[in-house]
């Protein structure tokens, strides 16, 4: 039977205790998907890129709203709350729209990679091809921001069987491609070391609003409840709450104030660590990863 | 399955966009006039889609929202869309009239041909008559034949000019779908603006080898078709979000310069008896704001070309 094979079963009970900096119970981070959709992408063998015969102007223009209008609106709200973003970046955007990257850097947001374009999937790639994509992403982010590439979300979550192994070999610290947990977990990779950070796909605004057609009011309720529950569980051992967002969805004029209300709520709670993906990964790697591996009877992992 | 090496070539990876349909503009970093010429902050148009869904419309290559989805001959779907042109549009006209607002009626020319009285009624109310193709069974898509598409655009324009006795300046693609050539052909046909793109809160120029045409923003997320028909979101949520979105744009315009939005409405959806009161409350919220300029899409396009460009 096929299965991911990236982690052993780890029940959500009896785990080594996670403590976050400052004695906080919940690590909260915003995954800001800043994406570039190609006007005329090459076809994929695995999925159709658009939903209608190209040009699919309805879906293209809906997404294009993000880079033209919504990004700055979202960034303003986050800056007002003192919340930094961790950018799931289609790195070609550094070449196309560098002004957006400049603002991310001014705001001290983390840049990690979401592939080159959101219209180029990892499906059917060889390991060398994936390696080329990762190295391109690393070089581009370094050139545009001076940052190291530490995190990864496969473009359009198109990761395949080999992806996590190649990520580890290329020195990526954390992946968001797996949705199996509310805490960071160490992964089995054939060389190097890789951990998973929770990405909370259930609260991702694209599936929530675009695919499932749920309401903004329900989203506000869901995000507050997610925060309450994970904070409560964080009493026992630190948890992670992610808001995986897209400017073109969350920063619509009719929805942006709901986002602000969600951040008001989360920021008002004591016990919340406002973090980035990289900060969560580093803390877990420095303080908890080894004890998780020991508890799970996993290999300690080679030092990369 | 191996992937061609060319899948990792990025020939359009360069500053700006990867196509030449329009230039990139970062709205919140663009110097804009503080107000529209009449001193208003937010220009708002009301676009009413007046449609004809043929009973035997094709399901391929695209079935538009509201297309004949039921198995067999769909009297249900056909007659409910027809309800829009018989009953609901009059209810909608009354609601807008009471609010003192004029709209742009985007006609499938076949709806206008079958029910010319609707064109007269729109004109009598000072509404703009715009073109929305021929009918919902003849969409503009992908690689469709150019000559056929040119003929559809011309048919739509001509029928509506003849019936209204006016030039027709606005184009809305039926079902909001375009072919690769629609923008150029609509520009060639002499239209002044096109309202299909959902990527901005202010007009901008679209360009092609035929020249420029104004893109007038489509409010996709709050269109009754997407919100109520496709997503089945609650009506009170539509009302609330519509009012909040408009208030937000007014507030943003006050700080950062003029903004624009639209209500994209479909009689057979929004003007059902149980929904119209919600629309009336949205219209009342709009009317209560002095900073909003409610005008036809054509009037706003003309103002933007003169002034805001």
Q: Which residue of B has its CA nearest to A131?
A: B8
What pLDDT does A299 receive? 79
Please give, rounded to a whole number of angstroms, the shortest distance from the CA of A257 to a CA of chain B.
8
* Full domain range(s) for residue A192: 21-296
- State whether A39 and B19 contact (CB < 8 Å): yes
- State whether B232 and A213 contact (CB < 8 Å): yes
Q: What is the pLDDT of residues A181-227, one digit of tens each?
A: 999 999 999 999 999 999 999 999 999 999 999 999 999 999 999 99
Label residues A259-296 b or e (16+ Cβ within 10 Å = b).
Answer: beebbeebeeeeebbbbbbbbbbebbbeebbeebbeeb
Q: What angle do CA A256, B216, B27 make, to 5 degrees?
A: 45
Which residues touch A148 (CB under 8 Å, ≥6 apart)? Answer: A138, A141, A142
DSSP calls for A253-265: TTTHHHHHHHHHH
- State whether B28 and A72 contact (CB < 8 Å): yes
Q: Which residue of B has its CA nearest to A36?
A: B17
Which residues of B are less than 8 Å from A53 in CB distance?
Answer: 61-62, 141-143, 177
Please give, rounded to a whole number of angstroms, the shortest distance from the CA of B165 to a CA of chain A.
31
- State whether B178 and A57 contact (CB < 8 Å): yes
Report if residue A301 sits inside a domain: no
Q: Which residue of A has its CA nearest to B202?
A: A69
Q: What is the pLDDT of residues B37-76, one digit of tens each?
A: 999 999 999 999 999 999 999 999 999 999 998 888 899 9
Q: Best mutation site among B44, B241, B246, B258 for testing chain A: the one with the most A CBs within 10 Å?
A: B241
Q: Count of H helices and E strands in chain A?
A: 12, 9
What pLDDT does B72 receive? 85
Residue B309 or residue B78, greater confidence: B78
What pLDDT does B284 receive? 98
ipTM higher than threshold 0.90: yes
Q: What is the pLDDT of residues B241-272, one digit of tens each?
A: 999 999 999 999 999 999 999 999 999 999 99
Q: Where are the alpha helices (DSSP H) in chain A?
A: 57-65, 71-81, 93-96, 98-106, 127-145, 163-169, 205, 216-234, 247-250, 256-268, 277-287, 289-296
* A304 confidence band (pLDDT: 50, 70, 90): very low
Report if residue A248 sits inside a domain: yes
C-alpha B146/C-alpha B245 separation (Å) is: 38
- State whether B198 and A62 contact (CB < 8 Å): yes
- Structural fold of domain B31-55+62-308: TIM Barrel (3.20.20)
C-alpha B133/C-alpha B121 separation (Å) is: 20
CB A50 within 8 A of CB A105: no
Reduced 3-state DSSP string for chain B: CCCCHHHHCCCCCCCCCCCCCCCCCCHHHCCCCCCCCCCCCEEEEEEEEECCCCCCCCCCCCCCCCCCCCCCCCHHHHHHHHHHHHHHHHHHHHHHHHCCCCCEEEECHHHHHHCHHHHHHHHHCCCEEEECCCCCCCCCCECCCHHHHHHHHHHHHHHHHHHHCCCCCEECCHHHCCECCHHHHHHHCCCCEECCCCCCCCCEEEEECCEEEEECCCCCCCCHHHHHHHCCCCHHHHHHHHHHHHHHHHHHHHHHCCEEEEEEECHHHHCCCCCHHHHHHHHHHHHCCCCEEECCHHHHHHHHHHHHC
C-alpha A43/C-alpha A92 separation (Å) is: 18
Q: What is the pLDDT of residues B152-208, one digit of tens each?
A: 999 999 999 999 999 999 999 999 999 999 999 999 999 999 999 999 999 999 999
Number of domains in chain A: 1
User: Chain A to chain B, count of Cβ pairs less than 8 Å apart?
Assistant: 148
* Token pair of A149 as six digits: 């590439």
- State whether B12 and A62 contact (CB < 8 Å): no
The owner of tokens 């992946």 is: A175
Q: What is the pLDDT of residues A49-92, one digit of tens each?
A: 999 999 999 999 999 999 999 999 999 999 999 999 999 999 99
Which residues of A are less than 8 Å from B12 in CB distance?
Answer: 38-39
Domain containing residue A173: CATH number: 3.20.20.370
* Token pair of A203 as six digits: 């609260």
Which residues of B are less than 8 Å from A73 in CB distance?
Answer: 28, 252
Q: What is the pLDDT of residues B94-112, one digit of tens each?
A: 999 999 999 999 999 999 9
What pLDDT does B2 receive? 81
CB B277 within 8 A of CB B20: no
Report if residue A304 sits inside a domain: no
Q: What angle do CA B63, B68, B70 make, to 5 degrees?
A: 120
CB A68 within 8 A of CB B25: yes
B211-215 and B204-208 strand pairing: antiparallel
pTM for the full predicted model: 0.97
Could you tell me what percentage of chain A is helix, strand and coil, using 3-state DSSP and rounding each to the nearest 5? 45, 10, 45
Q: A161: how many CB neighbours lie within 10 A of its CB? A: 10
Please give, rounded to a whole number of angstroms, the shortest distance from the CA of A219 to a CA of chain B.
12
Residue of A72, A133, A252 lying closest to B26 (CB–CB): A72
Length of chain A: 304
Q: Identify the DSSP state of A161.
A: T
* Token pair of B165 as six digits: 């006795």
Give the three-state DSSP class for A215. coil
Please give, rounded to a whole number of angstroms, the shortest distance from the CA of B99 to a CA of chain A.
22
Please give, rounded to a whole number of angstroms, the shortest distance from the CA of A276 to a CA of chain B.
25
Which residues of A are less than 8 Å from B10 in CB distance?
Answer: 92, 116-117
Residue of B25, B218, B245 lying closest to A68 (CB–CB): B25
Please give, rounded to a whole number of angstroms, the shortest distance from the CA of A121 to a CA of chain B.
9
- State whether A95 and B142 contact (CB < 8 Å): no
Residue of A45, A72, A98 lying closest to B1 (CB–CB): A45
């Amino acid at each position: 039977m096929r299965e991911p094979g990236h982690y052993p079963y780890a029940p959500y009970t009896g785990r080594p205790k996670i403590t976050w900096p400052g004695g906080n119970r919940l690590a909260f981070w915003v995954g800001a998907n800043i994406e570039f959709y190609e006007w005329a992408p090459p076809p994929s063998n695995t999925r159709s890129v658009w939903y209608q015969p190209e040009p699919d102007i309805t879906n293209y223009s809906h997404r294009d709203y993000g880079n033209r209008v919504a990004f700055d609106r979202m960034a303003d709200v986050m800056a007002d709350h003192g919340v930094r973003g961790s950018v799931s970046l289609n790195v070609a955007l550094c070449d196309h729209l560098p002004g957006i990257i400049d603002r991310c850097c001014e705001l001290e947001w983390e840049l990690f990679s979401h592939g080159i374009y959101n219209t180029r999937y990892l499906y059917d790639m060889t390991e060398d091809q994936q390696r080329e994509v990762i190295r391109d992403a690393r070089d581009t982010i370094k050139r545009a921001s001076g940052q190291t590439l530490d995190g990864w979300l496969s473009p359009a979550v198109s990761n395949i069987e080999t992806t996590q192994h190649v990520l580890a070999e290329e020195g990526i610290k954390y992946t968001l491609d797996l949705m199996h947990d509310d805490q960071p977990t160490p992964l089995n990779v054939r060389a190097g070391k890789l951990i998973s950070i929770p990405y909370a796909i259930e609260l991702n605004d694209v599936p929530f609003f675009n695919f499932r057609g749920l309401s903004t009011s329900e989203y506000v309720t869901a995000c507050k409840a997610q925060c309450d529950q994970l904070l409560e569980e964080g009493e026992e051992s630190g948890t992670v709450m992610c808001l995986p967002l897209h400017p073109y969805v969350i920063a619509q004029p009719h929805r942006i104030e709901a986002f602000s209300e969600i951040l008001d709520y989360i920021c008002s709670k004591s016990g919340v660590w406002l973090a980035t993906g990289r900060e969560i990964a580093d803390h877990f790697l420095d303080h908890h990863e080894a004890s998780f591996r020991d508890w799970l009877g996993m290999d300690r992992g080679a030092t990369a | 399955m191996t992937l061609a090496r060319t899948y990792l070539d990025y020939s359009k990876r360069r500053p700006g966009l990867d196509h030449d349909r329009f230039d990139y503009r970062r709205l919140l970093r663009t110097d804009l006039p503080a107000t529209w010429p009449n001193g208003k902050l937010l220009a708002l148009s009301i676009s009413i889609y007046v449609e004809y869904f043929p009973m035997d419309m094709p399901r391929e290559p695209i079935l538009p929202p509201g297309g004949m989805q039921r198995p067999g001959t769909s009297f249900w779907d056909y007659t409910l869309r027809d309800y829009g042109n018989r009953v609901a549009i009059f209810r909608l006209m009354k609601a807008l009239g009471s609010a003192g607002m004029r709209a742009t009626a985007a006609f499938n020319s076949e709806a206008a041909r079958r029910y010319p009285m609707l064109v007269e009624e729109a004109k009598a109310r000072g509404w703009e008559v715009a073109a929305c193709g021929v009918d919902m069974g003849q969409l503009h898509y992908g690689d469709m034949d150019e000559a056929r598409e040119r003929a559809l655009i011309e048919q739509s324009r001509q029928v509506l000019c003849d019936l209204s006795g006016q030039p027709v300046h606005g184009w809305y693609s039926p079902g909001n779908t375009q072919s690769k050539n629609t923008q150029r052909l609509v520009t060639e046909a002499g239209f002044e603006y096109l309202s299909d793109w959902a990527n901005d809160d202010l007009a901008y120029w679209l360009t092609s080898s035929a020249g420029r045409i104004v893109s007038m923003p489509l409010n996709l997320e709050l269109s009754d078709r997407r919100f109520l028909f496709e997503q089945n979101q609650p009506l009170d949520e539509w009302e609330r979000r519509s009012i909040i979105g408009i208030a937000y744009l007014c507030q943003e315009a006050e700080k950062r310069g003029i903004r624009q939005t639209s209500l994209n409405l479909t009689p057979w959806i929004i003007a059902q008896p149980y929904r119209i009161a919600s629309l009336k409350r949205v219209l009342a919220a709009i009317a209560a704001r002095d900073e909003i300029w409610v005008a036809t899409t054509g009037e706003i396009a003309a103002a933007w070309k003169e002034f805001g460009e």
